[in-house]
Amino acid sequence: MATLIKNARIIDPKTRLDMCEDIYIDAHSIEVAPSRVKNSTLIMPGRGLIVAPGFIDLHVHFREPGFTYKEDISSGIKAAWAGGVTSALVMPNTNPALDEPKRIFYQHKRAEKYGFDLMVAAAATKALKGEELNDVGALKKAGAKACTDDGHVIDYSHMEKLLKACRRHNMLCMQHAEDKRQSLNAPLNEGKASKRFFISGQPSCAESAVVARDIELALRIGARYHVLHLSSAESLALVRKAKMNNGLISAEVSPHHLLLCEEDIRGKDASKKMNPPLRSKQDQEALLLGIMDGTIDAVASDHAPHSRREKAQALADAPFGVVGIETSILALLTLVKKKSLPLRRAVALLCEGPARIIGEEGRIGTLFGPNAKKNVCVFDPDFKQVISEKNLHGRSKNSAFIGMEMFGRVMATFQNGQLVYRA
C-alpha cells in the first residue's frame, strides 16, 4: 500500500535535503510534494515528525544459528524495525561461525522472507580461532560485506595477511580491538567503578594498543580498516590522526558509550556489563567530540542479546553485552535534546555514515537516487519515555538503559516501500 505523510520534516544527509513537505512512499518510488496520489493511499499526519532514510546498524548479533534462545533473525528483524533500522550487519560469532559461503547464504535466505536488508560480516579465521585465515575472495563472492573475528583479536602475522587479502578483494576489515593480555577479561573499566567494587578492570590501553598496531598495518598495506565500538580517548586520537590524509580508516561508537560512563554503574550487577566496558567521564566526553568533528563515522548498537538467567549471574560470570538496536535513535535524540548533537548529524550517523563505511552509498542510507531502496524511518524527536522491558520488541531485554528517561519514538518504518512497523 502507498503512504502519504503530510507536512513532515524530511532529512536526507546524503542529498543535504532538510525541508518540511508532504512525502509519498510506495514500493516503486519516494516523491516529495507529489502532484497526485492514488485513492487507496494511506494518509499519515506528519506535523512534528521527522522522515529520514531507514537506519543502518553496522554491528548486531542476531544469534542464529546456535543461540536462538537469546535472539534469532526473525526476532532481531522485529526489534530492528521498532528502532527504525532497515539494514543491519550481523557479526559472525554464531555456532557454527559464519566462516563459509553456505553460512552466508543461509543468513540471506532467512532474511529474504521479511524483505529485510541483512548483510553479513564473515569470520576472518576458521571457527574464529585466529589460526587459519578464511578465503576472503570466496566469502565476498557469497555476499559478505566485511571480515572480522569480532570478540577475538587476530595476532600480528595473521592480521597482516588478512589485511592484504582484504585489499586484494576490496573487502572491509573490522576489528574488536582488545589486547586480552592486558584486559584479562575483566568485567569493568580500570577506573572508579572497579576500584569501588574492589575488582580488576580493563585498562583503556588494551584497546588503543591494538588500534595503533592495526592502523599502522592498514596504512602500510593500503587496506580499509574499521574500528568496532571504539570506546577510549586514546583510540579516538589515533583514528583522528590516521584519517587526516586518507580514506582507509573508519570507526563507530556504540550508544551506551555516548550516554553512559563508569560513574553510571550503581550496583554490582551485569546490566551495564559490556565489552568494551563503560569508560571514564573523560573518555565519554572525547567520544561526544568525536561524533561532532567527524572522527567517528557511525553509531552502531553492538546489539548483544542475552537471556535473563545469564545476565542475572554474578558480575564476573555474566556475559558481556547489552541490547540496543531499538534504542540507538533514542540515545542520539536524547543527546540532541541536551544540545550535545545537531539533529541532522544524529541522522547522518545512522544512515549516511554507515552506508559509506560499508560501500553501499546510493543503495541504502538515502531516500533518493536511481538505486536507492525505498527504506524510511519516521520518528517523533520530542516524545519522552522511560525505557522498560515492555518497550522492547526483541527476545531478550538486557538493555543498559532500563529505567532511563530518553527522548524520541519511532512512529513508522518502511522496508522496500511497505509499512512494516507502526507505533
* CA pair distance 344, 339, nearest whole angstrom: 12
* CA pair distance 383, 329, nearest whole angstrom: 12
Give the up-direction half-sphere exposure of residue 365: CA atoms within 13 A in the CB hemisphere.
Answer: 25
Buried b (16+ CB within 10 A) or exposed e, 327-354: bbbbbbbbbbbeebbebbbbbbbbbbbb
Nearest to 192 by CA among 285, 97, 266: 266
* CA pair distance 353, 345, nearest whole angstrom: 10
* CA pair distance 268, 212, nearest whole angstrom: 32
* CA pair distance 41, 76, nearest whole angstrom: 29
Amino acid found at 170: N
Residues 412, 44 contacting (CB under 8 angstroms): yes
Active site residues: 302
What's the per-residue H, E or C state across 29-79? CEEECCCCCCCCCEEEECCCCEEEECEEEEEECCCCCCCCCCCCHHHHHHH
What stretches of 84-126 show up as alpha helix (H) in DSSP? 101-112
Nearest to 90 by CA among 63, 109, 112: 63
Nearest to 324 by CA among 293, 303, 344, 340: 303
Nearest to 173 by CA among 237, 228, 220: 228
Residue 65 preceded by cis peptide, ω within 30: yes
* CA pair distance 201, 275, nearest whole angstrom: 12
Q: Which helix (H) or strand (E) holds 9?
A: strand 3-12
Q: Which residues pair with 364 in a beta bridge?
A: 361
Dihedral of CA atoms 399, 404, 409, 415 in degrees, nearest 10, equals: -10
Q: Indicate the SS3 state at residue 366.
A: coil
* CA pair distance 288, 257, nearest whole angstrom: 9
